[in-house]
Amino acid sequence: MRFPSIPKTLQRYRSNLKRSSAIQQGLLNLSIFLISLFLLSLTTYFFVQDALSTRMDGNLEQRMTMLMTELDDDDWEEDWEELAEEHPSLYQKLDESVQGDDFLLVLSERELKLSQNRVFRKQGFSTRELKRGRRDDDTQYRILVRERNGVVFVVGENNENDQEILELVISAFWLNALVALILTALLVFYLANRSHKQIRRIEYVLDQAAQGDLKQRIGPSHKNDDLAHVSTHIDTMLSRLETSMAAMTDISANIAHELKTPISRLRHDLNTALDNHEQGKDVETALNDAYDESSYITETFDALLRIAQIEGGARRSNFTQLDLRAVIDTVMDIYEEVAEDSGMKLVLGSSFSTMSDTSSTTSIQSNTKRGSSDSQLGNDTPLMIQGDKELLVQMLANLIENAIRYCPEGTTITLDYARMGEQIQLSVADNGIGIPEADRERVFQRLYRVDKSRSDQRGTGLGLSLVKAIVELHGAEIRLEDNLPGLRVVISMTGNRTILMDI
């Protein structure tokens, strides 16, 4: 792990120390760690102190018991002399100082009163500073004093070793605190430096995006942290925004291109009407042509606005529980005669038994699961769904109008339906010229026409775009299939749930 230069890092972050979340978090963690270490060391200190004190007091208690047992109450002086002869190192004369690391004293009350050393007059355990031999400095002793029948028993032990152990605990605490402080400080500044670079990169990319450059990306990161997660989402957002802006640019260019000709025709028709009026000629034909061109322009803009409204989700508030059969009946009532007037035939199928997914299928959106089997519906079986009836009628109407507009006379158009598990499937099929496989992915783009040379069939190029918008509003799937010959548009939706459509 390579750490950045501490002075440079401190200088870099001195102005924005309060704004650096990494430094703030690191300092907070360091503070919590030091407090925890202090409390742990303090607890350890008291535990060790208590353990050492308990051990020493136990030793003194044992020695006191032994001393009082060895000495008889009535003749303790003789017993003490015998004990002193057996253990000469235990015998200490009462003086201003003591000799050795431990001592045993047995005094009469008279001797205790004559003694200048008053430390042995308090019974029980105590810790005292006593002079040790000829040393100038005092030595700390743990003392136990007991009195029995006018005789005072004193047991003492040097506890310098215990004090050294306690001092070692304190030293260990300070050493650990210093090491933790240094390592945590290095880690904090390392993480702050790394986060600062990532944040600066994010700021740069967002600034470039605000200035209109949507091609900049933060880029992948080998780190699996929050900043990497946010960076990935920002890159995804910028990619989608770039795609949307490119599509908007294309749409704007297509709108300008598509409307340039009708606007020019409208101007030409109006100039012709004006010239005819000045020359006293008939102006009705020119005005009718101008009206047709203006209607075409208005229809195009209305369709674009309608698509934008649907894609914005504004119509979702109109969703209600409805029977899809009512939608199918309405479409059949309207377009059955229209198809006959165009030399075609619109029929209602009972069900379609096979819905094969071939390689020519184009999927626009998928949010459903395929039904496990098809079932034919009776005439009275309701097809209940959640949706907007007006938009669903518009969707089927656009599909049928496309078939009527672009198929030759004698074509049969079939509107079919079936239930597959929880799904309800619709299909609009014809035996006309169909759509080439290469164009099936683009026919849903705004203002796109499969055959631009066919000027006899004027359309806005927005019919299937509107269908796609309605399908996506209902959370549906849409695909195009070969009907051999012709085209089949399949729509799938979940009954009593949000509609899913396969076109």
d(CA 185, CA 193) in angstroms, rounded, equals: 12
- Mention every residue, 6+ apart, whose C-beta is less than 8 A from residue 378: none
d(CA 91, CA 282) in angstroms, rounded, equals: 148
Predicted local confidence at residue 221, as pLDDT = 73
d(CA 457, CA 436) in angstroms, rounded, equals: 18
DSSP letter for 484, please: S
Edge-to-edge strand order for the sheet containing 102-108? Answer: 97-98, 124-132, 138-148, 151-158, 102-108
Predicted local confidence at residue 5, as pLDDT = 54
- Mention every residue, 6+ apart, whose C-beta is less than 8 A from residue 77: none
Phi, psi of 485 (to 5 degrees): -95, 175
Predicted local confidence at residue 134, as pLDDT = 55
Predicted local confidence at residue 420, as pLDDT = 78
Domain positions in the chain: 226-299, 318-494
- Beta-carbon neighbour count of residue 46 at 10 Å? 12
Is there a cis peptide before residue 408, judged by omega within 30 degrees of 0?
no
- pTM beyond 0.75: no
117-141 in b/e form (b: 16+ CB < 10 A) is: bebbeeeeeeebebebeeeeeebeb
Using only the alpha carbons of the chain, give its radius of gyration: 49
- Mention every residue, 6+ apart, whose C-beta is less than 8 A from residue 194: 22, 223
- What is the SS3 assignment for 85? helix
Predicted local confidence at residue 136, as pLDDT = 55
Predicted local confidence at residue 503, as pLDDT = 33
d(CA 234, CA 225) in angstroms, rounded, equals: 14
Predicted local confidence at residue 396, as pLDDT = 93
Phi, psi of 492 (to 5 degrees): -120, 135
DSSP letter for 498, please: B
Helix (H) or strand (E) holding 128: strand 124-132
- Mention every residue, 6+ apart, whose C-beta is less than 8 A from residue 224: none
Sequential DSSP letters for 388-443: -HHHHHHHHHHHHHHHHHHSPTT-EEEEEEEEETTEEEEEEEESSS---GGGTTTT
Predicted local confidence at residue 18, as pLDDT = 56
- Mention every residue, 6+ apart, whose C-beta is less than 8 A from residue 334: 397
- What is the SS3 assignment for 87? coil
> CA of 174: how far to CAs of 180, 188, 441, in Å?
10, 20, 72
Predicted local confidence at residue 414, as pLDDT = 93
202 near 221, Cβ under 8 Å?
A: no
Q: Which CATH number fits domain 318-494: 3.90.1150.10, 3.10.450.50, 3.30.565.10, 1.10.3720.10?
A: 3.30.565.10
112 near 153, Cβ under 8 Å?
A: no
pLDDT in tens, the chain (503 residues): 455 555 555 555 555 555 666 677 777 877 888 888 888 888 888 888 888 888 888 888 888 887 777 665 555 555 555 655 554 444 444 343 444 455 555 655 555 554 545 556 677 888 776 665 555 566 777 888 887 776 777 787 777 788 888 888 888 888 888 888 888 778 877 777 777 778 888 888 999 888 888 888 888 877 777 778 888 889 989 888 887 787 777 777 777 777 787 888 889 989 999 998 888 888 888 899 889 888 888 888 888 888 888 877 778 888 888 888 899 999 999 999 999 999 999 998 865 443 434 333 343 343 333 333 344 455 556 788 888 999 999 999 999 998 998 899 999 999 998 887 778 888 999 998 888 888 888 888 777 777 655 544 556 778 888 898 888 888 788 889 888 889 999 988 876 544 433 33
Q: What is the DSSP pairing of strand 487-494 with strand 423-430?
A: antiparallel
